[in-house]
Amino acid sequence: MISINVCDDQREIKRHGTYAFPVAVYHYVMSECARGFIDWHWHAELQLNLVTRGCISFYTHGKQYTVREGDGFFVGSSRLHMAKPEGDPDSAYLCLDFHPRLIGSFPGSIYEYKFMQPFLGKGGMDHMALKRERPEQALVLSQIKGISSLMKEKEFGYELEVQSRIIRLWLSLISLFGAKNTLDAAPGHDTTQEIIRYLHQHYQEPVSLENVGRAVGFSTSECCRIFKRVTGDTILNYLRSYRLTKSIELLQETDLSISQIAYESGFNGASYYIESFKKELGKTPLQYRRRQAN
């Protein structure tokens, strides 16, 4: 099963590619994910997605973008995002991750300060839907396919060809951004990460919105407003979802009873845990464990 492992602030732990060649391509089939979708996470790498089957909704900064087969979605560096299938649980997409230094080359280079840094961080490229019917965007989408094939075949010199294509792809993207800046700034991103870090550190304990507010230095209402704007979800819904994720790890990796797992995951009783689990995954924790064992 596919699972995204994250730190306390929701940063993905996995390195995409290697330090020497920071590029990776994945093909995610939503039904093969632990909970049927890719949960909230962020990483330093830039990400380009191409839907290969069905329909995928990408969520970032309080907005939902429904992307159909053949279309794509760009996510900037260090941006919180998630992906869920729409309709078909076997909906799938290609995911291309690459680190900015692949284009920036070396510190102080013209590539870094002219073509990379202005498009990172606040005010930079945040996210962008890509439509195949628009020729300039179709070019980007075709490059994702081509890079995926190169990474799979690994013929001699493919690393140079991959870098070359990513550079051309990036030039197309920043040209689109410069020509029509329709992207939103994301105020509250840092505060949201602080909230997530607090929830990850205290998910096994009773968590109140008042405690969250005190931890990040905002009122309860302001915390809820910021978190909702950035993630599109409520703090308590996110906490419940994270507790379910931690419980799945225990179901897969331990022989603890369902009651023990409920307690270890921060749920107030086994009944509520089982009810929440079944509502989210369509089966009870015990049914899930038995299916994983087969």
Distance CA 241, CA 116 (A): 35
Is 50 exceeded by the pLDDT of residue 184? Answer: no
Write down the pLDDT at residue 146: 94
Distance CA 51, CA 109 (A): 34
- Positive or negative, the Cα torsion across 264, 265, 266, 269? negative
Amino acid found at 8: D
Reported confidence tier of residue 1, pLDDT bands at 50, 70, 90: low
Whole-prediction pTM: 0.71
Contact yes or no for 268/256 (Cβ under 8 A): no
Mean pLDDT of 181-186: 43
Give 253: exposed, middle or buried? Use CB within 10 Å, 0-12, 13-18, 19+.
Answer: exposed
What pairs with residue 160 in β-bridges? Answer: none
Mean pLDDT of 199-212: 93
Write down the pLDDT at residue 279: 85
Mean pLDDT of 57-75: 92
* Cα–Cα distance list, 243 to 204, 207, 250 (Å): 8, 12, 11
Return the CA Rg of the chain. Answer: 20
How many CA atoms lie less than 13 Å away from 150 in the CB half-sphere?
Answer: 20
For domain 23-179, the CATH architecture is Sandwich (2.60)
Which CATH number, 1.20.120.1750, 1.20.1730.10, 3.90.25.10, 1.10.10.60, labels domain 189-293?
A: 1.10.10.60
More confident residue, 124 or 23: 23
Reported confidence tier of residue 270, pLDDT bands at 50, 70, 90: very high
Write down the pLDDT at residue 123: 64
Write down the pLDDT at residue 227: 86
pLDDT in tens, 38-48: 988 888 899 99
- 4-21 as b/e, with b when 16 or more CB fall inside 10 Å? bebeebbbbeeebbeeee
Task: Give domain limits for the chain.
Answer: 23-179, 189-293
